[in-house]
A and B are shown apart, each in its own frame.
Chain A
Amino acid sequence: MTLELTECTYSYRRWRPAVLQDLSYSLPSGLTILLGPNGAGKTTMLKLAAGVVQPNNGEVKLDSLTSRDRRFRQHVAWMPQSVVAMPSLSSREYVAYVGWLKGMSRQAAWEKAAQALTRVEMLEHEDVKTSRLSGGQLRRVGVAAALVHEAEILLLDEPTAGMDPRQRRVFRDVLKELSGEVGILMSTHDVADLAEESDHVAVMQAGRLAFAGSTADFLAHAPAEVAPGRMAEAAYTALSESYAL
């Protein structure tokens, strides 16, 4: 399935300036990293792609389904930037609730919740109330919630923020596993850690796409003398300067 945004314009209130302006983008298969400075419109783009908000102009489509269609939502998973703890729900109930919201039966959601928690190494905390989890643990539950209904498109808004290095490693292994099966669009400020492991990179600036292409094309913006481990950062800096990000 192909997720496509066509000439999307969006503002949170009609009288406010548009956060996204005539944005067109087609999500390729594999892992795509979405970069850009704060306020560039990354979160809004992900919200549009997830069907959380609808564009004022333009359309978001997944093959023949538009984002206004409820069936669209079944194929798209979304992890918001801030994962909200629910004091009344345990980790497993939280993940299962998200699966149920996405249309799964109660039993299927319950079973898949255990599998998703296992994937992010959180099964041992399945009975712990989400309000008692640390910030990093809560984000892993958020990742599990995005994985539970096995969507074809995964949209992740800064999923690694607040994770310690080991948790990031686990998360990157999960992404690697998934990137062969689904299309992933993930916003991050973690350029150095993740960009070199991605298949594609998109860079946003002031509500528009400043760059979209393969990781190799992105890294080609790095100056020749840069050490291999720092290429992603150097490429982003070079792009930032050329597009005045």
Chain B
Amino acid sequence: MSMWWWMKARRTHSVVLSGLAISLLLSLTIGSEEVELPSLVSGMQQAVLTMFVPIPLVAALMVSLESRLPGIEASSVRRVGGWDALLVSATVGFWFALAAVSGSGVVAASARNAAFLAGLMLLARPWVGEAAVMVPVAWTMVVVAFNRRPAPDPEPWTILPEPASAPHAALAAAVLFGIGISSVMFISKDKS
């Protein structure tokens, strides 16, 4: 397999598969649960766990993408950015496939959240590097802190607590994921 060394360099077998397995397991087991968390605008607020389960996966994706040769890959003849984009798309795509097979709304909502949070992280990565892994965590915290309405009818800007059937959330996730993937493909990470 010609991209074998790239896969080893990115630690796809260990890091990405582990992150995916943990997130999927959480999604299937506790994804539909709700916990009570303190909100800045409405006292205690019920938060669905589908909001949080993609975090291990997006963190694993960041570890994998940053396991690279700075400079050398930027001056590579092969389009490594394309392979990286494929890795992220295939990982998130697998989650969507599982959601389709299982028919579970919870798994579908968490797959959408994975796409949304991965897109956010990838969008921030060219500017802040590895620290972009904190952006999905920050978004989740902002939602917990400022969302005034609990699921299944949260404020529309929050995206994460929305049910799988919410079209605007699906659209936001698709757009952000698309922009994030484009940044992986076309923006150099070596401006430092």
The residues of A with any CB-CB pair to B shorter than 8 Å are 12-13, 47, 50-53, 70-71, 73-74, 76, 78, 80, 84, 86-89, 93, 96-98, 100-103, 105-106, 145
Q: Given A97-B9, A100-B5: A78 and B69 within 8 A (CB)?
A: no
Pair A98/B69 contact, Cβ less than 8 Å = yes
Query: Are A50 and B75 neighbours in the complex by a CB distance under 8 Å?
Result: yes
One of B9, B68, B71 near A78 (C-beta < 8 A): B71
Closest 5 CB pairs of A and B: A103-B77, A97-B5, A101-B76, A80-B71, A52-B74
Does B190 sit at the interface, judged by CB under 8 A? yes
Counting CB contacts under 8 A, is B35 at the interface? no
Cβ of B77: which chain A residues have Cβ within 8 Å of it?
70-71, 73-74, 101-103
Residues of B within 8 A of A52 (CB): 71, 74-75, 188, 190
Complexed CA–CA distance, A52 and B192 (Å): 11
Query: How far apart sit A97 and B71, CA to CA, in the bound complex (Å)?
Result: 14
Q: Which residues of A contact B29 (CB under 8 A)?
A: none
Q: Is the CB of A88 within 8 A of B9?
A: yes
**Contact present for B75 and A97 (CB under 8 Å):** no
Q: How far is the CA of A89 from the CA of B12 in the complex (A)?
A: 13
Residues B4 and A106 in contact, CB atoms below 8 Å apart: yes
Which residues of B (75-105) have their CB < 8 Å from a CB of A? 75-78, 80
- CA A51 to CA B2, docked complex, whole Å: 24
| Sample of 18 A–B contacts (CB below 8 Å) | A12-B192, A50-B71, A53-B74, A71-B77, A74-B77, A84-B70, A88-B9, A89-B5, A93-B5, A97-B69, A98-B69, A98-B72, A101-B73, A101-B76, A101-B78, A101-B80, A102-B76, A103-B78
Residues on the A chain within 8 Å of B78, using CB? 100-101, 103
B11 at the interface (CB under 8 A from A): yes
Q: Do residues A73 and B4 form an inter-chain contact, with CB atoms below 8 A? A: no
Cα distance A86–B192 in the bound complex, in angstroms: 20
Assembly CA distance A102 to B77 (angstroms): 5
Given known contacts A84-B68, A101-B73, A101-B78, what 6 new A-B pairs fall within 8 Å (CB)? A52-B74, A70-B77, A80-B71, A84-B69, A86-B67, A100-B2
- Which of A93, A100, A101 is the most central at the interface, judged by chain B CB atoms within 10 Å of its CB? A101
Q: Which partner residue on chain A sits nearest B192 by CB separation? A: A12
Q: Using Cβ atoms and an 8 Å threshold, which residues of chain B touch A12? A: 191-192
Chain A CB within 10 Å, residue with most, of B11, B76, B80: B76
Supposing A84-B69, A88-B11, A88-B67 touch, asked if A73 and B188 sit within 8 A by C-beta, the answer is no
